[in-house]
Amino acid sequence: MNILKHYRKIWAIEHAQSLLGWDMEVNMPKMGITERSVAKGELSVLAQSLTLDPKFLDLVEKASALETLNDYEKGVIRVLQREIKIAKAFPPEFVRELSEVRSKATMAWSEAKEKDNFRKFEPWLDRIIELSKKAAEYLGYDEYPYDALLDLYEEGLRTKDLEPIFEKLEKDLKPILEQILEAGKISNEHPLEREKYEIQAMEEVNLRILELLGYPLGVKGRLDVSPHPFTSGFGINDVRVTTRYEGFDFRRTLLAVVHEFGHALYELQVDERFMFSPIARGVSLGIHESQSRFWENIIGRSKEFAELIYPLLKEKLPFIRNYTTEDLYAYLNMVRPDYIRVEADEVTYNMHILLRYKLEKLMINEEVKARELPELWNDELERLLGIRPKNYKEGILQDIHWAHATVGYFPTYSLGTLLAAQIKNYILKDMPDFYEKITTGEFAPIREWLKQKVHRYGSVYSPKELLEKSFGEGINPEYFIKYIKEKYLD
């Protein structure tokens, strides 16, 4: 109890930090970054000092030696020991600098992307690379500096774990993509991409879809607009999602909303007994991404979901009356090499992550400067997908992650994408009428199954322990390869 009583102060700072970050993306005027970056930096240092309070360290150390701990208590101690290790590793001045650079780099990235001018972001990216290298050295590693950063986002993940997975994906997916494109049976473009929509009407569609899926709008959640769609969890009872509206190609915003719902649902369905504790959140970004990709790909791109939402789309978007449900399904499942990761289809998506994974390894393990990255990016995309970006927006400036200094984050997108296909296999065994439930909009049993298998545990177990406990195996790319072959070739 004393441990959680002390931790509540740390939790309160993290809660405030999350709210400040959400506001920075959604509401804050540009000039607000000056004070905001300093405030976030100081709060980061304050949280670190509370984490390293000698009395708190002593409590955690004594508790870790107890042999009578239950799984919940063991989870609390495991997570706290990780947080303490990180807090001990980073000097306060480094924590402050990193927080301030993140805030300013985010604003620089936003302006650079808007003006398609990489030079505005380049000096900030150089600072991010250097700070990321410093972080790896502070944290320590056995083999590669990059491993230290991977572990921040996926507990226990190492380069040696990722190499065989990405080798398998590149080896198997490239010929599958070639077969799909050669066969010409799957659409690689669709007239719905060019249809323009009214933003207010599309917002109404998104809100209705969120309600349909079971998102507690106005009670525990809300939908806002940001340059890059994201989910912010402030606690089990306040998890917010964002999307963006471009006025055309409505699947971009629709699938983004379904994707972010998956993230939000995970946080909302953590066991309420864990509230205010260090385990009241998703265990890792890979597991988190498996939830968002499950809702986006397995459900959101299914024929049954297309049939379910077709009447709503026809009601709110007049041009839909010119198309059939088969058109809608084909539109949601187009396959083609494209520049933008968040708009990539299921077949090519992992190639986008492979590109970023390779560049991040170069950034952290080798001596690569920001000025070299745009050309390296373009060369690798051309090698993997046969296309070359025509500008920075289509290339290196499309993602916000490096501005946030989250180097090591990207591989978790692939882990989650692969795991989503595994979860489909598991849920069909327990729920043979899974797709029939989508047809009728009966999502409560699906939410409950996910809660029992993944969500309720929060961070009680490590990612590998959770997968073994709930599914009896770790991440296996064979399920995803099989899923892609069956869906797009058979």
Q: What DSSP assignment string belongs to 107-128?
A: HHHHHHHHHT-GGGTHHHHHHH
CA–CA separation, 180 and 347 (whole Å): 9
Q: What is the dihedral of CA 51, 56, 59, 64, to 10 degrees?
A: 10
d(CA 156, CA 388): 35
Q: Which of 256, 182, 180, 262 is nearest to 215 (CA)?
A: 262
Is-contact 253 206, C-beta < 8 A?
Answer: yes
Q: Which region holds residue 140: left if phi is over 0, alpha if psi is between -120 and 50, else beta?
A: left
Residue 218, SS3? coil
Per DSSP, the residues of 308-360 read HHHHHHHHH-GGGGGS-HHHHHHHHT-----S-GGG--TTTHHHHHHHHHHHH
Please confirm, yes or no, whether 366 is among the known catalytic residues: no
Answer yes or no: are the C-beta atoms of 177 and 188 closer than 8 Å.
no
Which member of 260, 267, 296, 394 is catalytic? 260
In the numeric block, which tokens belong to residue 269?
């369905």
d(CA 215, CA 212): 8
Distances (CA, A) of 163 to 83, 361, 399: 27, 11, 23
Q: How many CB atoms lie within 10 A of CB 175?
A: 9
| Bridge partners for 292 per DSSP | none
**CB contact at 8 A, 381 and 355:** yes
Q: What are the E-state strand segments in 421-490?
A: none
Alpha carbon separation from 387 to 153, 288, 370 (Å, rounded): 30, 30, 22
Cα–Cα nearest to 419, from 230, 307, 262: 262
Query: Binding site annotation covers 263?
Result: yes
Residue 289, annotated as binding a ligand: yes
What are the phi and psi torsion angles at 453 (to 5°)? -85, -35
Q: For residue 115, give every residue at least 6 positions away whose Cβ sits within 8 Å of its Cβ, in sequence order, or none.
A: none
Q: Which residues sit in the known binding site? A: 259, 263, 289
Binding-site residue ranges for Zn(2+) = 259, 263, 289
Q: Which residues are catalytic?
A: 260
